[in-house]
């Protein structure tokens, strides 16, 4: 059972690695934010699977903190990108 | 009894991993931002949800099980809000995307 | 199986770090950095450092990412110029040589460590009963090396003052950061109303769990700071002017309580920050309770930045 959970964790990590390609390619900021979001969720899943595999209960607390802070970080990202694009269009409209 | 629970865990975790695969493939292969957003939510809802379901029989206490469910709900909430915000920001930048 | 997982994680970390540094787009680099912090959390869990993993998840994943993205937003005007310039070949070669030399020196010093590495862990395990806490990290931070924790808290206050010193003269004493506007019925305001109560409960739980399990005041304070920042970002509340009395009192209250307990210890138990027998756990709890609001205030204010809007008279 522990081996299976470890393998599952490794698989989710592999998916995370492949999703990183989207951060690399873009082409827009939105794609990068979405890739970061997927990494957050995948990271939480991998963390939970690892914690169950090794029997370490405190890892669930780490995943809980990560869930909260990832929510905060993605909102901060989107807000920054939205403000930037609003400034862009304002500047482009002949200021 | 515990064999049945183990089997449930394995099935749920495999299904969850499949949805992560689907979400990642969608993120890489779909043609534009909005369709990619759609793929992303599959990993959030079903991927993590099934993984949490598969891990619930193995927790040491009711509090740990509650924490697992709270984690899933938090990821659902933040995923929904982030998707809305990203979609709106993309619409404003690129009205014909 | 575990080795394969660890090797894969290490390779992924290296690849991501290399890409983050080499890339030219600042926004993409910050996204890569947040992903890097996330993977580092996994690495710390693999190294059995769950407390460090908690701190990495909180600070490296969330707060530093938000801090860097704010910096990228401010630097957007200069980004085109920064991307266009390219240092001369001599500068680049020198930089490469110095970086390479530092890497080789680090590698040699790590590989030359005695095996088994010298450690005080057995001493901590032998004496932890006297402190009354179960988590050895909390025992080290707040009992055996409390002096370091006190100095770190004071350094954080100085860092905040340093950030404030970047304010233009006319804005001194005013509100930091721009005024955030958001539709009060929109989704950003929605999550800024729903998430903070949950975050506060989780933050207090992590703080309380730090006595016997991984956790503690620092991670709890980070979560509280992130929730306050979220409410500010949604425009539901404004950043307080830095001249407010409650703000300044809150910032110094934590270290002052810590110093007071230290001086009381000098009188009652013979050395600064010594705890009298049997009083260790209550004193540790008092210190943590006093430091947590201070830390949350400092972390949130560090992210909001220097005062930008002129103070109200």
- List all residues 6 or more positions away from C303 whose beta carbon is below 8 Å from its beta carbon: C63, C66, C67, C70, C225, C229
The residue with greater pLDDT, C196 or C175, is C196
Residues C14, C76, A18: CA angle, nearest 5 degrees: 30
**Does any domain span residue A95?**
no
Mean model confidence pLDDT for chain A: 81
Is the same domain home to C45 and C166?
no
Domains contained in chain A, number: 1
Average pLDDT over residues A71-77: 86
To the nearest whole angstrom, how far is the Cα of A84 from the nearest Cα of chain C?
Answer: 7
Per-residue pLDDT, B50 = 93
Of B20, B60, B82, the CB nearest to A45: B20
Confidence of residue A95 (pLDDT cuts 50, 70, 90): very low
Is the same domain home to C175 and C130?
yes
For C129-158, give one letter per residue: b (16+ CB within 10 A) or e. Answer: eebbbebebbbbbbbbebeebbeebeebbe
The per-residue pLDDT for range B7-41, each reduced to its tens digit, is 999 999 999 999 999 888 888 888 888 888 888 88
The per-residue pLDDT for range C272-292, each reduced to its tens digit, is 888 887 788 888 889 999 999
Average pLDDT over residues C259-279: 84
Q: Which residues are registered as beta bridge partners of C175?
A: C309
Parent domain of A19: 2-89
Domains contained in chain C, number: 2
Confidence of residue B95 (pLDDT cuts 50, 70, 90): low
Distance CA C173, CA C242 (A): 5
Percent of chain A at pLDDT > 70 equals: 85
Is the same domain home to C255 and C146?
yes
Q: How many CB atoms lie within 10 A of CB C298?
A: 21
Report for C66-75, C100-109, C178-187: range of highest mean pLDDT:
C100-109
Residue A13 in contact with partner chain B when CB distance is under 8 A = no
CB contact under 8 A, C5 and A64: no
Pick from B70, B80, B81, B86 the residue to mutate for testing the C interface (most C CBs within 10 Å): B81
Is the same domain home to C140 and C217?
yes
Of A23, A46, A76, the CB nearest to C69: A76
Residue C214 tokens read as 């991984």
**pLDDT above 90 (res C32):** no
To the nearest whole angstrom, how far is the Cα of B81 from the nearest Cα of chain C?
Answer: 7
Per-residue pLDDT, C228 = 93
Per-residue pLDDT, A77 = 83
Residue C173 in 3-state DSSP? coil
What is this model's ipTM?
Answer: 0.87
**Does any domain span residue A94?**
no
Average pLDDT over residues A6-30: 82
Residue with tokens 């969850």: B16
Parent domain of C142: 120-313
Distance CA C284, CA C171 (A): 39
Per-residue pLDDT, C295 = 94
Per-residue pLDDT, C311 = 62
Percent of chain C at pLDDT > 90 equals: 34
The residue with greater pLDDT, C83 or C247, is C247
Average pLDDT over residues C147-160: 92
Per-residue pLDDT, A89 = 56
Confidence of residue C162 (pLDDT cuts 50, 70, 90): very high
**pLDDT above 50 (res C313):** no
Per-residue pLDDT, B66 = 92
**pLDDT above 70 (res A85):** no
**Does any domain span residue A30?**
yes
Residue A21 tokens read as 């390609």
Environment class of residue B7 by beta-carbon count within 10 Å: exposed (0-12), middle (13-18) or buried (19+)? exposed
Q: Enumerate the residues of chain B whose CB falls inside 8 A of the CB of residue A18.
A: 24, 28
**Does any domain span residue A19?**
yes
Confidence of residue A94 (pLDDT cuts 50, 70, 90): very low
Residue B3 in contact with partner chain A when CB distance is under 8 A = no
Residues C153, C157, C161: CA angle, nearest 5 degrees: 165
Is the same domain home to C221 and C133?
yes
CB contact under 8 A, A66 and C31: no
Stated length of chain A? 95
Residue A77 in contact with partner chain C when CB distance is under 8 A = yes
Q: Enumerate the residues of chain A whose CB falls inside 8 A of the CB of residue C229.
A: 72, 76
Per-residue pLDDT, C177 = 79
Q: What is the DSSP letter of C24?
A: -
**Does any domain span residue C108?**
no
Mean model confidence pLDDT for chain C: 87
The per-residue pLDDT for range C65-76, each reduced to its tens digit, is 888 988 888 887
**pLDDT above 70 (res C192):** yes
To the nearest whole angstrom, how far is the Cα of A95 from the nearest Cα of chain B?
Answer: 18
Average pLDDT over residues A17-31: 78
> Cα dihedral sign for B23, B28, B29, B34?
positive
Confidence of residue C195 (pLDDT cuts 50, 70, 90): very high
Instruction: Please tell me the number of Cα atoms within 13 Å of C257 on its side-chain side.
Output: 17
H-helix or E-strand containing C308?
strand C307-309
**Does any domain span residue C110?**
no
The per-residue pLDDT for range A38-59, each reduced to its tens digit, is 888 888 999 999 988 888 888 9
Per-residue pLDDT, C52 = 92
Per-residue pLDDT, C85 = 77
Q: Are residues C16 and C39 in contact, defined by beta-carbon separation less than 8 angstroms?
A: yes
pTM reported for the whole predicted model: 0.90
Residues B58, B62, B68: CA angle, nearest 5 degrees: 65
Confidence of residue A90 (pLDDT cuts 50, 70, 90): low
């Amino acid at each position: 059972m522990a081996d299976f959970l470890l393998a599952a964790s490794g698989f989710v990590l592999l998916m995370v690695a492949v999703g990183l390609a989207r951060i690399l390619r873009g082409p827009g900021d939105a794609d990068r934010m979405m890739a970061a979001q997927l990494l957050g969720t995948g990271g939480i899943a991998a963390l939970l699977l690892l914690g169950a595999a090794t029997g370490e209960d405190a890892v669930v607390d780490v995943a809980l903190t990560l869930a909260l802070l990832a929510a905060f970080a993605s909102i901060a990202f989107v807000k920054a990108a939205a403000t930037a694009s609003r400034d862009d269009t304002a500047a482009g409209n002949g200021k | 009894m515990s064999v049945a629970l183990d089997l449930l865990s394995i099935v749920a975790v495999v299904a969850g991993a499949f949805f992560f695969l689907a979400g990642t493939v969608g993120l890489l292969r779909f043609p534009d931002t909005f369709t990619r957003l759609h793929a992303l939510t599959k990993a959030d809802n079903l991927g993590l949800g099934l993984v949490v379901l598969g891990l619930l029989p193995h927790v040491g206490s009711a509090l740990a099980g509650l924490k697992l469910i709270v984690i899933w709900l938090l990821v659902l909430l933040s995923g929904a809000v982030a998707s809305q915000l990203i979609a709106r920001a993309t619409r404003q930048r690129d009205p014909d995307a | 199986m575990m080795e394969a997982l660890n090797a894969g994680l290490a390779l992924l970390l290296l690849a991501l770090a290399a890409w983050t540094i080499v890339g030219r787009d600042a926004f993409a680099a910050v996204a890569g950095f947040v992903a890097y912090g996330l993977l580092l959390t996994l690495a710390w869990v693999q190294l059995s450092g769950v407390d460090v993993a908690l701190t990495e998840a909180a600070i490296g994943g969330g707060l530093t990412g938000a801090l860097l993205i704010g910096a990228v937003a401010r630097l957007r005007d200069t980004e085109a110029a920064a991307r266009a310039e390219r240092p001369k070949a001599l500068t680049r070669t020198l930089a490469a040589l110095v970086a390479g030399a530092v890497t080789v020196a680090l590698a040699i010093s790590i590989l030359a460590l005695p095996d088994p590495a010298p450690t005080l862990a057995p001493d901590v395990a032998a004496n932890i009963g006297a402190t009354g806490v179960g988590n050895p990290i909390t025992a080290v931070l707040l009992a055996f090396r409390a002096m370091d924790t006190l100095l770190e808290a004071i350094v954080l206050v100085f860092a905040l003052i340093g950030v404030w010193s970047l304010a233009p003269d006319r804005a001194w004493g005013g509100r930091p950061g721009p005024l955030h506007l958001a539709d009060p019925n929109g989704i950003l305001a929605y999550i800024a109303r729903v998430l903070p109560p949950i975050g506060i409960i989780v933050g207090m739980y992590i703080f309380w769990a730090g006595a016997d399990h991984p956790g503690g005041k620092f991670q709890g304070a980070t979560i509280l700071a992130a929730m306050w920042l979220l409410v500010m970002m949604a425009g539901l509340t404004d950043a307080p002017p830095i001249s407010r009395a409650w703000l300044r009192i809150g910032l110094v209250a934590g270290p002052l309580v810590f110093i007071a307990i230290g001086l009381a210890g000098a009188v009652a138990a013979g050395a600064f920050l010594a705890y009298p027998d049997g009083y260790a756990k209550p004193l540790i709890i008092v210190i943590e309770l006093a430091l947590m609001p201070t830390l949350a205030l400092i972390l949130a204010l560090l992210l909001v930045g220097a005062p930008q809007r002129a103070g109200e008279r």
